[in-house]
Amino acid sequence: MTSAHTEPAAAHRPGVSGWSSRAIVTVIVAVLVLFFAIPMIWLLFATTKSARRLIVSNPFAPGSAGDLSTNWSQLFDFQDGAVTTWMANSALYAIGALAITLLASIPAGYALALTEFPFRRLLLVLTLVVMLIPNTALVLPIFLELNVVGLIGSPLSVILPMSFFPFGVYLTYIYFSTSIPRDLLAAARIDGCREFQVFTKVALPLAAPIVALVAFFSFVQNWNNFFLPFVMLPSSDGYPVQVGLTSLLASTPAFNPSSAGAQSVQLPTLALATVVSVLPVLIVFLVSQRFLVAGMTAGGTKD
Amino acid sequence: MTMVGNTVRPAAVAEEREAGRPPVPRSNAMSYGLISVYVVLALAFGIVPAVYALYLAFTDAEGGFAGLANFAKVTGDFRFWPAVTHVALYLIIWLVALVVLVTLLAVVVHAILARWLSRTLRFVFYLPGALAGASSVLLWLFVLDPTASPVGGLLRLLGFESFVQVIVPGNLPVIFAVIAFWAGAGSWIVIMYGALNNISAEVIDAARVDGANPVQIAWRIQLPMLRKWISYMCIMSLAAGTQLFIEPQLLSQASNAIVPNDYSLNQLAYQYAFQQNDFNGAAAISLLLLVIALALSAVFVTRGGLFERD
C-alpha cells in the first residue's frame, strides 16, 4: 500500500495555532524525542569503545573500529562461542514456532470466518478470552505438563507452547471475514471447486498480507520471549539469546563484582551483546514499519 | 508488549457481515480438519494448563482438596503484600504515563503538517519497541549507571552518584515504568495515529469553522473517538504489566540482590515453584494475578465502551 493511503491530505489537518501552546507542546515533544532516541544512539556508540573510553569520553563521540572488533571478539569468544549457540537457538525457536503458528492459525482463521460448523462460536469466544490471558500466567502449569511427558530441556518445550498464538487466529479471522467477498467463494463453488479447493485455490493466494502480519507479530514475540525459555531450559546450551544475556550480565564485573576473572565481560561488550541480541528483530521492524501502519489503518477504512 | 491494537473496530464489522451473509454449505469434516492443529495447540497449551492451574491452586501437595488453604498461605506470606504494592505502583505509573503521553504524542504527531517530520517522529517513537524484554532492561542498566550513562550529568543533578543509589527500592516502580514506556509506547502511538486518521476530515473542518481551536478539537472530538483504543491499550498493558518479571529479575542480578528476587508477584510465584517446590502455592499466585487482571480489564471494557458499535 502506498503512503498516500495512510495519510490523508495535509490540508485537512488541524494546524496547531497560538504561540504559547505551540511552544509548550514543542518542548514536551522534543524532550520525549530525546528520551526515545538517546539510549538507542548511545548504545550504538558504546559498542565502538573500550571499557575505559566508555567512561571518560563524550557519550556521543564515536570510538574506533579497533575497539569494536576487540569487543566483537570478546563477545563471541565468551564461553567458547556461547553467543553463537544462543543466536542459533533463538532462530530455531522463533522460526520453528512461527512455522507451526502459521500452519495452525491461517486455516483456523479461515474456518472460523468462512465456514459453518458446530462449536464455531464457542471456539471464537475461547480464542478471545485466551488472548487476554497473559502468556506468562500459564508457564508454570505448562512446565508441569511438559515435565510429565519428559520434554523439559528439549527445544520442543519452547517451540510448542509458543506456537499457540490465539492473536494470530483472531487476526486471520478478522482478515478473512472482512477482506474476502463471500461471492467470490460462492463463484468458485459454482465453478466446481470442492470445499478444500476453495481454501487452497481461492483464499490462500489472497492471504499474503495476513500471513505477513501474523508472521511479524509471532516472530517478534517469540524472539523476545524470556520467561518461557527461562523456565523450560535449564542448560546454557539451550538458551535463546534473551536468556543468554543474563549469563553475560552475571559475568560483568561492573554489575556483579564477584565475577571478575578470565571470563569477565566488559561494559562495551555487554552493550554489543544487547545490539546483537535484537538485530534480527530490529531488521524486521525496519522492513515492516510501512506495511504495518498501512495494514493497521486499512482495517478501519474498509467500513 | 507488541502491537496488538488493530482489531477492535473490524471485529464489529465482521459481526455485522455475519448477519446478512449468504448461506454457507456445511462441510464439518473439512472445517474440523482446518482448525484441528489450532485446537490441539489450544487444548495442550491453553485449556489444559489453565484447568491444571485451577486444580493445583485448590489442592495440596498430596492432591487432596485444600479449599482456600493455598490462597491463605500465599497471602499470609510476608513477601506477598510488598510484591502486590510494588506491582500496583508500577502499573499505576505506567498506565497513567501511557494514557496521557501516548494520546498527547499521537495527537501532536497527527497535527504536524510536514509529512517528513511526522513520519520521522513516528519512526523514532516506534523503533525502541524492537528492544523488548531482556535487551531493553540491559540497555537501561547502562543508562541508569551514572558512571557510563549518556545522561550521567542529569543523574548527578538529581543527586544520584552511583548505580546503587539509583536503584533504591523507592525508585523502582518509576524505573520499571520508564523502561516499559520506552519500549512499549511507540507501537501504541503508531496505532493511535492510525485511529486518528480514520476520523473524517469533515468533522474536524466543521469544528474549525465553528471556531474550535486545536486544543478543543483534540479534547472534544479526537479524544472521545480514541476512547476505545485507549481502553484497549490499558487492557493489554494491564495484562502484561501484572506479569512483571524480567525487569526486577535482571536488576536483582545486576545489583547483587539489592533488589530482592521476590520483588514482583510473578517472581514470588517462580520462587514458590522452583525454590520451595510448592507448585500449589505458585498456582494460587498465578490464579490471583489472572483474576485481578481480568477484573481490571472488565472495568476498562465496560467503562471504555470497547464492545459497543459505533
pLDDT of residue A13: 46
Residue B308 has pLDDT above 70, yes or no: no
Which of A:11-50 have CB within 8 Å of B? 12-18, 21, 25, 28-29, 32-33, 35-43, 46
- CATH number for A191: 1.10.3720.10
Considering Cα of A37, then A39, then A40, then A42, what sign does the dihedral take?
Answer: positive
- Are A55 and A196 members of one domain? no
Amino acid at A237: D
- Are A86 and A49 members of one domain? no
Domain limits at A59?
14-70
Number of folded domains that form chain A: 2
Nearest-Cα residue of chain A relative to residue B101? A32
A190 falls within a domain = yes
Whose CA is closest to B204, among B191, B213, B194, B192?
B213
CATH of domain B83-303: 1.10.3720.10
Q: What percent of chain A is predicted at pLDDT more than 90?
A: 33
pLDDT tens figures, B31-90: 888 999 999 999 999 889 989 989 999 998 888 888 889 999 999 999 999 999 999 999
Residue B9 has pLDDT above 50, yes or no: no
- Are A37 and A184 members of one domain? no
- Are A110 and A49 members of one domain? no
Range A95-118 average pLDDT: 92
pLDDT tens figures, B45-57: 988 998 998 999 9
3-state secondary structure (DSSP) of residue A160: helix
A227 Cβ under 8 Å from any chain B Cβ: yes
Q: Where are the domains of chain B?
A: 83-303
Closest partner residue to A246 (CB to CB) among B46, B213, B253 is B253
Q: In chain A, which ranges are E strands? A: none
A225 Cβ under 8 Å from any chain B Cβ: yes
A32 falls within a domain = yes
- Are A45 and A185 members of one domain? no
Indicate the angle between helix axes B115-126 and A19-46, nearest 10 degrees.
50
What is the spatial distance between Cα B283 and Cα B270, in angstroms, rounded to a whole number? 10
What is the spatial distance between Cα A118 and Cα B32, in angstroms, rounded to a whole number? 9
Residue B15 has pLDDT above 60, yes or no: no
CB B288 within 8 A of CB B71: yes
A117 falls within a domain = yes
Tell me the chain B residues in contact with residue A278 when contact means C-beta distances shorter than 8 Å. Answer: 130-131, 135
A180 Cβ under 8 Å from any chain B Cβ: no
| Confidence band of A272 (pLDDT split at 50, 70, 90) | very high
- Are A43 and A173 members of one domain? no
- Are A238 and A111 members of one domain? yes
- Burial of residue A17, with CB atoms counted within 10 A of its CB: 0-12 exposed, 13-18 middle, 19 or more buried: exposed
Residue showing cell 497471602:
B75
Range B161-175 average pLDDT: 87
A46 phi and psi angles, rounded to 5 deg: -60, -30
Q: Looking at this predicted complex, what is its ipTM?
A: 0.82
- Are A120 and A211 members of one domain? yes
- Are A44 and A96 members of one domain? no
Q: Do A296 and B214 touch (CB under 8 A)?
A: no
Domain final position from A228, A250, A272: A250
User: Could you tell me how many helices (H) and strands (E) chain A has, helices first?
Assistant: 15, 0
pLDDT tens figures, A175-206: 888 777 778 888 888 888 887 888 888 888 88
The 3-state secondary structure of A9-69 reads: CHHHCCCCCCHHHHHHHHHHHHHHHHHHHHHHHHHHHHCCCCHHHHHHCCCCCCCCHHHHH
C-alpha separations of A193 from A196, B34, B35, B268 in Å: 8, 17, 20, 56
C-alpha cell at B53: 492451574
